[in-house]
Amino acid sequence: MQDWETGRDALTAPAVARNRDAILAALRETLPAHGTVLEVASGSGEHAVHFAAALPGLTWQPSDPELAYRRSIAAHARAAGLANVRPPLDLDAASESWPIARAEAVLCINMIHIAPWPATLGLMAGAARLLPEDGPLFVYGAFREDGQHTAPSNAAFDADLRARDPRWGVRDLEAVTALAADRGLRLERRFALPANNLGLVFRRF
């Protein structure tokens, strides 16, 4: 369950401080040196400013369909004073039309399990539209493997998600990988990250 703390416009997700450096290490091995990174479902915006500060050769394009989160992203970007963070886009992953035509990489953190399945469908289709050949889509979150949860904590997390919204839940890695392949994205690499989460790198082919 995501735990949010609020201050005026800027929102704080305590989990960000726990996972951002592990994700950053994986991104350093995945992202190109230059170009635009579209972050889908940026939430509070804390990941965006942390990664943009650490990877100054990249231009960060955050996005979120929720106005409160876009305000938070903008507030964190203003406070960080970074020139390589663009204003957040109003982007719904499930939409067939996104307000951006191209990106050298796409990033999506903790959305697939906290969204209806059509959001994952849209994420894969949108990434396939935007990315150049061999461009990466990096996805982070909890997944089931071989039909099983990878830890008791993930099983409890899944039950909590489904109690909150039956359309949510920890997804089967195999189903996500098959969906990506149908949209022209091959799974290239898997990172085992803290708290029983995975970082998945898909490449457009």
Q: Residues 6 or more apart from 7 whose CB is under 8 A from it? A: none
Q: Find the domain containing 140 and state its range.
A: 5-204
- Judge whether 23 and 47 are in contact, CB under 8 Å: yes
Distance of alpha carbon 113 from alpha carbon 115, whole angstroms = 6
Distance of alpha carbon 204 from alpha carbon 134, whole angstroms = 5
- Judge whether 102 and 149 are in contact, CB under 8 Å: no
- Judge whether 203 and 186 are in contact, CB under 8 Å: yes
Q: Tokens 């004073």 belong to which residue?
A: 81
Quickly count: other Cβ atoms within 10 Å of residue 92's Cβ.
Answer: 20
Residue 82, SS3 per DSSP: coil
Question: Per the structure, how many domains does the chain have?
Answer: 1
**pLDDT tens by residue, the chain, 205 residues:** 344 344 479 999 999 999 999 999 999 999 999 999 999 999 999 999 999 999 999 999 999 999 999 999 999 999 999 999 999 999 999 999 999 999 999 999 999 999 999 999 999 999 999 999 999 999 999 999 999 999 999 999 999 999 999 999 999 999 999 999 999 999 999 999 999 999 999 999 9
* CATH number for position 90: 3.40.50.150
